[in-house]
Structure 1
């Protein structure tokens, strides 16, 4: 069955301060996710599903649809705060939707095939899409999914600390678990993560981390639906609580639902966690265009 690319684009971009999903970074006015879509098409993907909020759907489609017409099939999923609540009422102080796991659950009606899922505002590199497509076509099953892992040194920001899902990997190259480290940065040449109590611990440069690039069977969407009610029962009154995709992936393994293979790429990730990252991202894309990796205008 032909796999689909799912792009998480419903975030409010609170740290970045604008709608970074549709901001231009390429020399032809391209957004970051357009480079992902371009790489995905080259790898073999024929369909992309955007998870967005309904309130910016028109603006989003006006930017993206003319560029992709005739190049890849598109579909849209709206992640709204009241979706899949099972009769529960959204608390008045709830501002954001319920996180990336909830976003995947919102795909239940549209995505019935194996799929890769990525963030809209992250640049992943062509190698990751080639490997993901190969896995989805040849290996993905209900009980065999995958995570695309990056080397930590290739994922840092020069403008502040980052949060990363640090992967525990078995000798057979399977994900054993993921630990969210919320404050990782470079200090005196070394990479460290800082705990809530201020203690710091060094992390190796080649620590494998998740950048929210996963390869799932549609059964994973069902698992999100299975786990979401319990999350709501425990976290409904916490306005900042999030039902996160990596947490569901962790339960997928530890609950005996299946295994997650680790697909390692040495591609350099970059993204716009902070507004100050934008010039670096633009320069990185310009360098790739100059090197011939991408055309100066992706869609012409």
Structure 2
């Protein structure tokens, strides 16, 4: 059974100002998601599941169904605020969705095979998808998961400091911990992160997480239990978010599962602010010019 691609596309995109998940960046208006799915099909994924808000389902179907029909199976699941589905009867006020790890739970009834999770607004590159397919088909077990590790120097922004999950890897290539560094930027020929008004160096090749994770369906029950505990512990914090690294951190510390850090030399780029759009368009145009992608992706 071919693995599934789970795309996190339910974010509010408040800093971007519009639905960046379906904004056009390619020569013919292709979204970043289009390039991810194109690479995923080429790599050997058999299904794509979109996690979206229910009110956007017709938008997504109109954009993606004509392109993907006959190429890959598609499904749509909805991230919502309903806690009763997890056995939580208490009403908890929220200002925003519960976060990326909660979003994964939305796919628990749609996915029965090994799968990976990616962000809708990030470009990951074919190498990462191919390596993930190989892992999911040949190595993944309920106690062996994975994460794609990007070289820090290939994930920086020209528009300011970035936050990155810096991965500490053991001698077997497994994740020991992820430390979120919230202010990383180039300085001269070096890369530094800032903490308590001091600067500390980071190597160009330092592996970082860009939210590209590989799991088996066993992770759903684990995540549900973690989420119920998180929701109750944060019921008075309407902005608290349950992120995917919290799953990884719990499983690694409890020795429930290992996470293989799979290195890729691909350049990553993504879109957070409106100002990122021209840069992302330039990156995609260059990939088309280099022959990585056809000018018209689906024709």
Root-mean-square deviation (CA, aligned residues, Å) is 1.2
Match of 2:228 in 1: 229
Match of 1:90 in 2: 92
Deviation at 1:116, TM superposition (A): 0.9
Deviation at 1:125, TM superposition (A): 0.4
Deviation at 1:188, TM superposition (A): 3.1
Q: Distance in 2 between matches of 1:227 and 1:179?
A: 19
Measured against aligned partners, the alpha-carbon deviations of 1:152-210 in whole angstroms (never above 9, x if no partner) come to 01011111221111101001100111111122222333222222x32322211111000
Match of 1:41 in 2: 41
Secondary structure at the aligned position of 1:201 is classed as strand
Secondary structure at the aligned position of 1:221 is classed as helix
Deviation at 1:44, TM superposition (A): 0.6
TM-score normalised by the chain length of structure 2: 0.96
Aligned pairs for 1:42-121 (under 5 A) are 42-83=42-83, 84=85, 86-91=88-93, 94-121=94-121
Aligned pairs for 1:183-222 (under 5 A) are 183-195=183-195, 197-222=196-221
Deviation at 1:254, TM superposition (A): 0.9
Deviation at 1:111, TM superposition (A): 1.1
Q: Distance in 2 between matches of 1:215 and 1:33?
A: 18
Q: Distance in 1 between matches of 2:252 and 2:288?
A: 40
Match of 2:285 in 1: 286
Secondary structure at the aligned position of 1:6 is classed as strand
Deviation at 1:263, TM superposition (A): 0.5
Query: Are the equivalent residues in 2 in contact too, given 1:81–1:96 (CA < 8 A)?
Result: no
Secondary structure at the aligned position of 2:221 is classed as helix
Deviation at 1:146, TM superposition (A): 0.5
- Structure 2 gap segments, 5+ residues each: none
Deviation at 1:257, TM superposition (A): 1.1
Equivalent residues, number: 297
Secondary structure at the aligned position of 2:89 is classed as coil
Secondary structure at the aligned position of 2:136 is classed as helix
Match of 2:13 in 1: 13
Q: Distance in 1 between matches of 2:213 and 2:130?
A: 13
Structure 1 residues 124 and 168: CA distance shift in structure 2, 3 A: same
Q: Distance in 2 between matches of 1:103 and 1:216?
A: 14
Q: Distance in 2 between matches of 1:200 and 1:98?
A: 32
Query: Are the equivalent residues in 2 in contact too, given 1:131–1:263 (CA < 8 A)?
Result: yes
TM-score normalised by the chain length of structure 1: 0.96
Measured against aligned partners, the alpha-carbon deviations of 1:88-142 in whole angstroms (never above 9, x if no partner) come to 2131xx2211001101111111111100110000000000000000000011000
Measured against aligned partners, the alpha-carbon deviations of 1:189-232 in whole angstroms (never above 9, x if no partner) come to 3222222x323222111110000001101111111111111101
Q: Distance in 1 between matches of 2:62 and 2:78?
A: 16
Secondary structure at the aligned position of 1:56 is classed as helix
Structure 1 residues 189 and 15: CA distance shift in structure 2, 3 A: farther
Match of 2:272 in 1: 273
Q: Distance in 2 between matches of 1:114 and 1:257?
A: 17
- Structure 1 gap segments, 5+ residues each: none
Structure 1 residues 17 and 189: CA distance shift in structure 2, 3 A: farther
Secondary structure at the aligned position of 1:82 is classed as coil
